Structure 1
Amino acid sequence: MKQAAMSKGTKGTTSLCKGALSGLSSFLEVRALTMGTMLLVGVWSGYLLTATLLACTATLLLHYLHSKYKYWSTRGVKAPPATLLLGHTLHRLGIKVPFMEFFDDLYYNYNGRDFCGYYDFLQPGLFVGNPEIIKSILGKDFEHFADRRTFDLGKVNPIANDMLTNARGQHWRFIRGIVSPAFTSGKTRRLFPLMNNRALHLLQMAREESKRGRVEARALCGRYTMDSIASCAFGIECDAYSSEAESFPVMAARVMQLSPARALKILVLLVAPKIAEVIQRLGIDFTSPEFHFFRQVVTHTLRMREKRGVRRGDFLDMLVESKMNTKEGLSDNTITAQAILFILAGYDNTANTLALTLHLLAHHPHVQAELRREIAGEMRRNGPQIPHDRLMEMPYLDAVISESLRLYPAAPVIERICTKPYTIAGTSVHLKKGQPVLVPIWSIHRDPHHWPQPDNFMPQRFLGKSRNSITPFSYMPFGHGPRSCIGLRFAMLSVKIGLVHLLTSMKLLPSKESMHPIPLNPRVLTLKPKDGVYINFVECSFEETLEEEIALYPPNNHEGVGLADEISDYHGLSKGVSSLKSRNTNESDVLDFRSSETNSFKLVISD
Structure 2
Amino acid sequence: MTLGLVILLVVLLVTAYVALHNHYSYWRRIGISEIKPKWIVGNLWGLLNLQKSPAEFIFQLYNHPEAENEPFVGIHVFHKPALLLRDPELVRNIMVKDFSGFSNRYSNSDHKGDPLGSQNIFFLKNPAWKEVRLKLSPFFTGNRLKHMFPLIEEVGASLDAHLRQQPLHNERIRCFDLEAKELCALFTTDVIATVAFGVQANSLTEPNGEFRRNGRSVFEFSLLRAAEFTLVFFLPHLVPFFGFKVVPAEATRFLRKTINYVMAEREKSGQKRNDLIDILIEFRRSTQQAKASGIKDQFVFEGDILVAQAVLFFTAGFESSSSTMAFAMYELAKDADIQQRLREEVRSALVESGGQVTLKMIESLEYMQMVLLEVLRMYPPLPFLDRECTSGRDHPLAPFHNFVVPKGMPVFIPCYALHMDPQYFPQPRKFQPERFSPENRKLHTPYTYMPFGLGPHGCIGERFGMIQTKVGLVNLLRNHLITTSERTPHRMQLEPKAIITQSKGGIHLRLVRDPLGV
CA contact (8 A) 2:106 2:236 kept: no
Counterpart Cα distance in 2 of 1:249 and 1:309: 28
Q: Paired residue for 2:387?
A: 416
Between the aligned partners of 2:483 and 2:224, the Cα distance in structure 1 is 42
Match of 1:139 among 83, 86, 96: 96
Aligned to 1:223: 186
Structure 2 portions without partners, runs of 5+? 170-175, 291-297
Answering whether residue 252 of structure 2 is matched by residue 291 of structure 1, we say yes
1:240/1:80 CA distance change after superposition, 3 Å: closer
Check the 8 A contact 2:72/2:86 in 1, yes or no.
Answer: yes
Taking the aligned partners of 2:327 and 2:439, their CA distance within structure 1 comes to: 26
Cα distance, 1:104 vs structure 2: 2.5
Residues 301 and 83 of structure 1: CA distance in aligned 2, closer, same or farther (over 3 Å) = same
**Letter of the 1:487 counterpart:** G
User: Which amino acid in the other structure matches residue 125 of structure 1?
Assistant: A
CA contact (8 A) 1:215 1:535 kept: yes
Offset, 1:217: 0.6
Deviation at 1:428, TM superposition (A): 1.0
Map of 1:51 onto structure 2: 6
- Identical counterparts, % of pairs: 30
Larger RCO (alpha carbons 8 Å, 6+ apart): 2
- 2:72 and 2:87 in contact (8 A); partners too: yes
SS for the counterpart of 1:88 is coil
259-268 vs 215-224, which deviates more? 259-268
Within the candidate set 78, 85, 92, 1:128 is matched to 85
Instruction: State yes or no: 1:91 paired with 2:46.
Output: yes
Aligned match of 1:40: none
Moved more, 308-317 or 452-461: 308-317
User: What is the Cα deviation at residue 429 of structure 1?
Assistant: 1.8
Structure 2 partner of 1:598: none
Instruction: Name the SS of the counterpart of 1:412 in structure 2.
Output: coil
Q: In 2, distance between residues paired with 1:373 and 1:259?
A: 41
CA distance in 1, matches of 2:466, 2:71: 31
Question: Map of 1:235-250 to 2, 5 A cutoff?
Answer: 235-239=198-202, 246-250=209-213
Mapped partners of 1:348, 1:228: distance in 2: 12
In the alignment, the residues of structure 1 paired with residue 114 and residue 483 of structure 2 have an alpha-carbon distance, to the nearest angstrom, of 46
CA contact (8 A) 2:255 2:311 kept: yes
Query: Residues of 1 paired with 2:333 and 2:444: CA distance?
Result: 26
1:306 aligns with 2:267: yes
Corresponding residue number in structure 2 for 1:33: none
1:370 correspondence with 2:341: yes
Task: Using the TM superposition, give the Cα deviation of residue 255 of structure 1 relative to its aligned residue in structure 2, in angstroms.
Answer: 3.8
Q: Deviations over 1:318-377 (max 9, x none)?
A: 443566678657324222111111233222222111001011111111111111222233
- The equivalences for 1:40-189 within 5 A come to 47-92=2-47, 95=50, 97-108=52-63, 109-111=65-67, 114-151=71-108, 153-189=110-146
| Structure-1 separation of matches of 2:116 and 2:92 | 32
Instruction: Pick closer, same or farther for the CA change 1:393–1:89 going to 2, 3 Å.
Output: same
Instruction: Quote the Cα distance in structure 2 between the aligned partners of 1:508 and 1:141.
Output: 45
The change in CA–CA distance for 1:274 and 1:518 in structure 2 (over 3 A counts) is closer
Deviations 1:141-195 (Å, cap 9, x if unpaired)? Answer: 0011110124463333433332111211111111111112212222222221111
- SS of equivalent residue, structure 2 residue 456: coil
After superposition, residues 315-326 of structure 1 pair within 5 angstroms as 315-321=276-282
Matches within 5 A, 1:516-535: 516-535=490-509
Counting helix residues as a fraction of each chain, which structure ranks higher?
1
Query: How many angstroms does 1:240 deviate by?
Result: 8.8
**Within 2, Cα distance between the matches of 1:462 and 1:274?**
43
Residue deviations 1:460-514 (CA, integer Å, cap 9, x gap): 1111311111111111111111111111112111110111111111111111211
1:275-301 Cα offsets, whole Å, 9 max, x none, are 68xx99xxxxx9823212212211211
Moved more, 327-336 or 492-501: 327-336
| More deviation, 287-296/178-187 | 287-296
Counterpart of 1:425 in structure 2 is 398
Deviates more, 1:455-464 or 1:310-319: 310-319
Q: 8 Å contact 1:209–1:215 — kept in the other structure?
A: no
What's the TM-score, normalizing by structure 2?
0.87
Which structure 2 residues correspond to residues 187-198 of structure 1 after superposition, within 5 A?
187-198=144-155
Structure 1 unaligned runs (5+)? 1-45, 281-285, 544-600, 602-607
Q: What's the secondary structure of 1:509's corresponding residue? A: strand
What is the CA–CA distance in structure 1 between the aligned matches of 2:111 and 2:377, rounded to whole Å? 36
Q: Secondary structure at the match of 1:536?
A: strand
Deviation at 1:259, TM superposition (A): 7.5
The reply on whether 1:480 has 2:437 as its aligned counterpart is: no
Question: Which 10-residue stretch deviates more, 206-215 or 508-517?
Answer: 206-215
Q: Determine the structure 2 residue equivalent to 1:514.
A: 488
Distance 1:242 1:217 in 2: 16
The alpha carbon displacement at 1:248 in A equals: 2.4
Work out whether residues 181 and 322 of structure 1, in 8 Å CA contact, stay in contact via their aligned partners in 2.
no
SS of match in other structure, 2:412: strand
SS of residue in 1 equivalent to 2:211: helix
The answer to whether the 8 Å contact 1:514/1:534 transfers is yes
Alpha-carbon displacement from aligned partner over 1:298-321 (angstroms, at most 9, x marks no partner)? 121112122222233322224435
For residues 125-145 of structure 1, what are the alpha-carbon distances to aligned partners after superposition, in whole Å with 9 as ceiling and x for unaligned?
Answer: 000021111011110100111
The reply on whether 1:335 has 2:292 as its aligned counterpart is no
Decide whether aligned partners of structure 1 residues 138 and 50 sit closer, same or farther in structure 2, where only a CA change above 3 A counts. Answer: same
Secondary structure, counterpart of 1:538 in structure 2:
strand
What SS is found at the alignment partner of 2:482?
strand
- Tell me the residue number matched to 1:200: 157
1:437 equivalenced with 2:394 (yes/no): no
SS at 2:499's partner residue? coil
SS of the residue 2:82 aligns to = strand
Quick one: which amino acid aligns to residue 376 of structure 2? Answer: L
Contact 2:226–2:498 under 8 Å retained in 1: no
Is the 8 Å Cα contact of residues 418 and 435 (structure 1) preserved in structure 2?
A: yes
2:215 equivalent to 1:252: yes
